[in-house]
Chain A
Amino acid sequence: MSDVAITGLGLVCALGDRPSVVHGALCEGRRGYGVSPVLGAVADGYQVGEIPGFVAGQYLGPRNLRPLDRTGQLTAVAAELALADSGWDAEARAARELGLVLGTTFGSARTIGEFDRRAMRDGPDYASPLDFANTVISAPAGQVAIWHGLRGVNSTVSTGAASGLHAIGYAAQLIASGHATAVLAGGAEEVSFEAFLGFQRAGWLLPPGDPAGPRPFDRRRCGCVLGEAAGLLVLEAADLARARGARILGWIRGWGAGFDSRQDMATLDGIHALSAAIARAAGRDVAAIDAVVASAVGHPTLDTREGLAIEAALGARADRVPVTTIAGHVGDTQGGGGALQTIVALESLRVGSVPPVAGLEEPDHRLRLDFVRSASRAVGARQILVTAQAREGNACALVLASN
């Protein structure tokens, strides 16, 4: 898989819309959450990682945005930025089939929820046909393909919190197998009433009024902040990237995925699929991994499971490889998370520093990992591991190499 190049990045999240800006904010320990205008009173007292003042038109120009719901708009913006970053202008896109692989958990739970509630409240004749098209989970990918003229593979991948990372691995596999040559890959998720209520009722959220914010990997962690984000990478076959003179930001070195049963996810026991996924992603070069960007959001069990799996995979070097997570800063951005982690990892390779874990004071005593704490850490990294562990058992690992 060493012939899959990364030639462009696009993201939008609560801490910004440029990889360097977001990476800088993470290194400074800034938090991207607060009161949520989108959620309003239902989220009273809770902090939410909503993108402040998000207006898609600022990025996408005067075209009619009505057909796109919030997830569609977030995705279209990330795609716009990634395409511009990689030099795939409209003319170049017309001459080649670009693909899109989008990771998402809900698509737009808001669109689906409101469509059905209106039909049930006012009668089926009052449901909107335009909104119906957006109720399918693949709608954001379809809408963005229309918006940007992406005529190649158009796929959507759902593996919960691993969706974004999984989408990147899936896209790399499409390129490696010769089924695509250039693919936008990543993930997106919006903040919605439905997702918020779901997270709240499941007990996944940091209790309201908690002043410290989420504390991934900390002994006292007690929940996450719901976030939103879209992140996309342009992946290309190496010969295509070279032939068109693209700037290569890094390489997909390998990926792996696996699954722990839902029953096992409640405990720390059992074999951890993430370990095997890391082993597959790293191949023979586990020793070459210089840093880890994990997915931990502040979940009491999940963070430990992810940490133990990383520890097992890194073996004797586990206590010497810097490990961070960005969900303490931006919240649990669900399907967007893995893409965000990957972009931050690439930026860490580029500038040679890894941002700290937000809120981490007393690391979980069961983990002997070298967490990046309080300040960013300078690293001369050449290869970086990105991991994702979903609540329902999906695990995914991606190894990136600098150019």
Chain B
Amino acid sequence: MVTGIGVVTSIGVGRDAFWRHLLAGRSGISPVESFDTSRYRVHLGGEVKGFEPEPFLRRVSRHSMGRSSHLAIAAARLAIEDAGLPLDRIDAASVGVSLGTTSGEPHWIERFNDQELAGQRDLIGEEFVNRYPCHVLAANVASELGLRGVNMVIPTACAAGNYAVAHALDTIRSGAAAVMLAGGADAFSRITYTGFARLGAIAAHRCQPFDRRRSGMIPGEGAAVLVMEPLDAARERGAPIYAEVAGYGLSCDATHMTAPQGEGAVRAMLAAMRDAGVEPSEVGYISAHGTGTVANDRVETLAVKAAFGDAATRVPMSSIKSMLGHTMGAASAIEAAVCALALSDGRIPPTINLEEPDPECDLDVVPGVARAVQIQTAMNNAYAFGGNNASVIFRAVRP
């Protein structure tokens, strides 16, 4: 069960602000400030402006870690508060952390590179290896919160959040943890920005998923953490229950590193529905991967049609990347939070910036405005470099 939600995004920190702004269709895209983009042809990003980690840090120093950890810790603290989880009364060894990421702490290797290029190799110190490797994300979250359970980072790029949630589900079901903090985090990275710019994948002005004139994604940053625990435990302590994590499916295209093929995505969706015991006609909402690139949105539409058959045209499917940009390893974690909120709140967020629907993306993409609809089941789709596909299914829990 999802009993707590913590999000740090460009349109709001904390569940309430995020959800309110998401339903209102607010965009978090703005000029990049964290590094100089003057040598690039694109200049927009989805940075979380004005974020201060201090209010969330009690045990560890902000200077002992990087921004991805700051974002992750903030999301974790917010999730625990939201869940009302009494950490001081729970065996710390039974609380685990499972986080997805694309880049870990990219600023520390960027700094390493700046020093190396400036002929200052001597200035590179112990901080690089102590702060850069991606597994420090979960280590820093657990060190800050005093958690001693299973602790891991799953760096499966843009599908990482879904992988982390899926792993948390298995970990709880196996009895290896009583509570899992599952999610993802990524700080805005010039390496990521450079790469997508070189692929010609970054939109210059707006991210327009499913629009005929869409011209790409926009890199972003953020973090989301879900508190997951078994139903009995959640009910016993009177916790809010947003949704049940009902099942998942993972697959690999195994054909191309960066071009989505669709066939693997279909297998992941079918496996997830089989795992959750859900028929396509029962799925009431799909949180799309929906990056806004020409290839992704077309291939994703075809994949949903193949997996859902006749039901495809009846399922609302929106992309919040139209508002946040692509927050990389955090993306599917934030979108998992969206699925849980959609199920508990009875509203689904829109795809914004849609002006001319692409005839090749002809599903119900919830254009422009949020929609009130009571749904029983939601599917969260995420696709990544390496041909990685991950679908997670969430189910409503009625009191």
Interface residues on A, range: 35 or more
Contact with B along A241-275 (1 / 0, CB 8 A): 00000000000000011111111000000010100
State whether A273 and B135 are in contact (beta carbons under 8 Å apart), knowing that A136-B385, A153-B251, A177-B170 are contacts in the complex. Answer: no
A residues less than 8 Å from B368 (CB atoms): none
A residues less than 8 Å from B102 (CB atoms): 136-137
A140 to chain B, nearest CB (A): 9
CB interface residues, B 105-123, toward A, < 8 Å = 109-110, 112-114, 116-117, 121
The chain B residue with its CB closest to the CB of A391 is B130
Q: Is A152 an interface residue (CB 8 A)?
A: yes
Once bound together, how far apart are the Cα atoms of A143 and B135, in whole Å? 21
Once bound together, how far apart are the Cα atoms of A65 and B198, in whole Å? 22
Once bound together, how far apart are the Cα atoms of A157 and B146, in whole Å? 22
Interface centre among B135, B142, B171, B257 (most CB of A within 10 A): B135
A145 touches B151 (CB 8 A): no
Interface centre among B110, B129, B196 (most CB of A within 10 A): B129
State whether A138 and B152 are in contact (beta carbons under 8 Å apart), knowing that A132-B199, A154-B388 are contacts in the complex. Answer: no
Stretch from B187-195, B278-286, B308-316 contacting the other chain = B187-195
A124 touches B40 (CB 8 A): yes
A residues less than 8 Å from B150 (CB atoms): 257-259
B386 touches A138 (CB 8 A): yes
The chain B residue with its CB closest to the CB of A143 is B257
B residues less than 8 Å from A174 (CB atoms): 170
State whether A194 and B174 are in contact (beta carbons under 8 Å apart), knowing that A138-B155, A155-B163, A257-B151 are contacts in the complex. Answer: no
Q: Is A312 an interface residue (CB 8 A)?
A: no
Main secondary structure of the interface of A (DSSP, over half): mixed
Q: Is B59 an interface residue (CB 8 A)?
A: yes
A residues less than 8 Å from B155 (CB atoms): 107, 136-138, 156, 158
Q: Is B334 an interface residue (CB 8 A)?
A: no
A residues less than 8 Å from B125 (CB atoms): 201
B166 to chain A, nearest CB (A): 8
Once bound together, how far apart are the Cα atoms of A6 and B54, in whole Å? 47
Once bound together, how far apart are the Cα atoms of A113 and B157, in whole Å? 17
State whether A263 and B59 are in contact (beta carbons under 8 Å apart), knowing that A121-B117, A158-B153, A198-B128 are contacts in the complex. Answer: yes
A391 to chain B, nearest CB (A): 8
Q: Is A32 an interface residue (CB 8 A)?
A: no
Once bound together, how far apart are the Cα atoms of A256 and B149, in whole Å? 10
> Quick one: which of A106, A145, A203, A260 contacts B148, CB cutoff 8 A?
A260
Stretch from A45-53, A159-167, A296-304, A359-367 contacting the other chain = A159-167
The chain A residue with its CB closest to the CB of B125 is A201
B174 touches A176 (CB 8 A): yes
The chain B residue with its CB closest to the CB of A139 is B386
Q: List 23 A-B contacts (CB under 8 A).
A: A99-B252, A115-B195, A116-B194, A124-B40, A129-B195, A132-B195, A133-B257, A135-B195, A136-B103, A137-B155, A151-B264, A158-B134, A159-B138, A159-B151, A163-B135, A173-B174, A194-B109, A202-B126, A256-B176, A259-B142, A271-B148, A280-B176, A390-B135
Closest 10 CB pairs of A and B: A142-B386, A198-B129, A132-B195, A154-B252, A137-B155, A259-B151, A158-B135, A133-B257, A202-B126, A392-B139
Residues of A participating in the B interface, judged by any CB pair closer than 8 Å: 67, 97, 99-100, 105-107, 109, 112-113, 115-117, 119-121, 123-125, 127-129, 132-139, 141-143, 145-146, 148-160, 163, 166, 170, 173-174, 176-177, 179, 194-195, 197-199, 201-204, 256-263, 271, 273, 276, 280, 390, 392-394
